[in-house]
Copies of this chain bind each other. A is one copy, B any other.
Amino acid sequence: MPQSPTPSADQTPRRERRKEARPGELLEAALDVFVEKGFAATRVEEIAARAGVSKGTLFLYFSSKEELFKAVVRKNISGLYANWSAEIDCMTASSTEMLAHAMQEWWKHVGSTKAGGLCKLMAAESGNFPELIDFYQQEVEAPGTALLARIVQRGIDRSEFRPVDVNYAAYVLKAPLAFLMLHPQGDDGIPGFDPDRFLSVQVDLLLHGLAVPQRPQDMPAAS
């Protein structure tokens, strides 16, 4: 005990400890309210209240409602792509497995969580808030598409996949995720609908097609 004679676990004074925790608490509250109400319909005062602070305090940490929203997106979505991209590089699995894995991971960590609500939000309120949509496009949509395109390209390079337009393939792969995200889950959802089952079927179909193979015959290797 170098310093104070009563060295409890709480060395930092309460005020200071709170200061460091504030942004995180606000970000969490903001995520909840934005997802619940949408961007336009969210009142900053409610976010502040849920974080247990006053309106003024919120603006101490985030300079505007829009900045706060961006911070929420960065914290909950943007960062994930960086990790995933790195993860891809050191995987040895087949590209098929990789694709299935990537989609399942996205659903588990984004789509099925509150972060998924953010994506829904952006799609909905895109018309207004043009600055926000640009940000979202760059920070979320583009990296996501790029990640999937990279896996598809890898599959093509390794002759696992047919040669297709990788960008459109990436969009196709994203579609079911968007679909999943859009649909209300839980009580309001389609009764008996199981997201994981849906993803399995989706991956099976995308990889093997719906059509019955037409009498498998010789096929020249993809040029």
Contact = CB atoms under 8 A, between A and B. Distances in A.
A164 B201 contact: yes
A179 B141 CA distance: 12
A172 B207 CA distance: 13
Copies per complex of this chain = 4
Interface in A179-223: 179-180, 182-184, 188, 190, 193, 197-198, 201-202, 204-222
B178 A182 contact: yes
Nearest to A94: B211
A96 B133 CA distance: 36
A222 B165 CA distance: 16
A49 interface: no
Which applies to chain A's interface (DSSP): helix, strand, loop or mixed?
A: helix
Interface stretch (A10-18, A56-64, A122-130): A122-130
Contacts of A137: 188, 190
Interface residues of A, number: 70
A22 interface: no
A162 B205 CA distance: 10
A201 B175 CA distance: 12
Interface in A133-175: 133-134, 137, 141-142, 145, 152, 155, 159-162, 164-165, 168-169, 171-172, 174-175
B160 A211 contact: yes
A169 B205 contact: yes
Contact of A162 (B168, B183, B197, B210): B210
Nearest to A117: B127
A117 to B, nearest CB: 9
Closest 6 CB pairs of A and B: A218-B218, A124-B124, A209-B209, A175-B179, A217-B218, A40-B40
